[in-house]
Amino acid sequence: MGWTVYILECADGRLYTGITTDLKRRITEHGAGRGARFTRGRGPFQIVHEEPCESRSDASKRELEIKALSRAKKLLMISG
Protein backbone atom coordinates (compact mmCIF):
# COMPACT_ATOMS: atom_id res chain seq x y z
CA MET A 1 0.00 0.00 0.00
CA GLY A 2 1.60 3.25 -1.16
CA TRP A 3 1.26 6.57 0.57
CA THR A 4 0.74 9.96 -1.04
CA VAL A 5 1.53 13.44 0.26
CA TYR A 6 -0.84 15.95 -1.30
CA ILE A 7 -1.57 19.65 -1.32
CA LEU A 8 -5.07 20.97 -1.89
CA GLU A 9 -5.96 24.48 -2.85
CA CYS A 10 -9.20 25.46 -1.14
CA ALA A 11 -11.81 27.72 -2.72
CA ASP A 12 -10.55 30.60 -0.56
CA GLY A 13 -7.00 30.11 -1.90
CA ARG A 14 -5.57 28.54 1.23
CA LEU A 15 -3.34 25.47 0.93
CA TYR A 16 -3.83 22.26 2.89
CA THR A 17 -1.22 19.49 3.08
CA GLY A 18 -2.05 15.92 4.04
CA ILE A 19 -1.21 12.24 3.53
CA THR A 20 -3.33 9.28 2.45
CA THR A 21 -3.25 5.84 0.86
CA ASP A 22 -6.28 6.64 -1.34
CA LEU A 23 -6.28 10.19 -2.69
CA LYS A 24 -9.65 9.95 -4.46
CA ARG A 25 -11.37 8.73 -1.28
CA ARG A 26 -9.67 11.39 0.82
CA ILE A 27 -10.72 14.21 -1.48
CA THR A 28 -14.31 12.91 -1.31
CA GLU A 29 -14.07 12.97 2.50
CA HIS A 30 -12.79 16.55 2.46
CA GLY A 31 -15.62 17.57 0.13
CA ALA A 32 -18.23 15.94 2.37
CA GLY A 33 -16.93 17.74 5.46
CA ARG A 34 -15.48 14.55 6.96
CA GLY A 35 -11.87 15.42 6.20
CA ALA A 36 -9.61 17.62 8.26
CA ARG A 37 -11.18 20.37 10.34
CA PHE A 38 -9.14 22.92 8.37
CA THR A 39 -10.89 22.03 5.10
CA ARG A 40 -14.47 22.06 6.40
CA GLY A 41 -16.45 24.71 4.57
CA ARG A 42 -13.52 25.64 2.32
CA GLY A 43 -14.43 23.53 -0.73
CA PRO A 44 -14.41 22.92 -3.58
CA PHE A 45 -10.82 21.75 -3.67
CA GLN A 46 -8.22 21.37 -6.35
CA ILE A 47 -5.29 18.97 -6.04
CA VAL A 48 -2.26 21.10 -6.85
CA HIS A 49 0.53 18.72 -5.81
CA GLU A 50 1.00 15.05 -5.02
CA GLU A 51 4.08 12.97 -4.21
CA PRO A 52 4.25 9.19 -3.79
CA CYS A 53 6.02 7.84 -0.70
CA GLU A 54 7.17 4.35 0.23
CA SER A 55 5.86 4.29 3.80
CA ARG A 56 3.66 6.17 6.23
CA SER A 57 6.80 7.30 8.03
CA ASP A 58 8.26 8.78 4.83
CA ALA A 59 4.93 10.44 4.00
CA SER A 60 4.60 11.95 7.48
CA LYS A 61 8.15 13.30 7.38
CA ARG A 62 7.58 14.86 3.95
CA GLU A 63 4.25 16.32 5.10
CA LEU A 64 6.01 18.05 8.00
CA GLU A 65 8.72 19.36 5.66
CA ILE A 66 6.10 20.86 3.36
CA LYS A 67 4.08 22.32 6.23
CA ALA A 68 7.23 24.06 7.49
CA LEU A 69 7.65 25.91 4.18
CA SER A 70 6.37 29.43 3.73
CA ARG A 71 3.39 29.93 1.43
CA ALA A 72 5.69 31.49 -1.18
CA LYS A 73 7.97 28.43 -1.16
CA LYS A 74 4.96 26.08 -1.39
CA LEU A 75 3.71 28.01 -4.42
CA LEU A 76 7.15 27.77 -6.04
CA MET A 77 7.20 24.02 -5.40
CA ILE A 78 3.72 23.62 -6.89
CA SER A 79 4.52 25.68 -9.99
CA GLY A 80 7.59 23.88 -10.99
Give the number of residues written for the chain.
80
Q: What is the tally of structural domains in the chain?
A: 1
pLDDT in tens, 3-45: 999 999 999 999 999 999 999 999 999 988 888 888 888 889 9
Q: What is the extent of the structural domain holding 59?
A: 3-79
pTM of the predicted protein model: 0.91
CATH label of the domain that carries residue 52: 3.40.1440.10
CA distances from 32 to 17, 43, 59 (A): 17, 9, 24
- Please report the DSSP string for 10-64 in residue order: -TTS-EEEEEES-HHHHHHHHHTT-S-GGGTT--S-EEEEEEEESSHHHHHHHHH
d(C-alpha 41, C-alpha 64), whole Å? 24
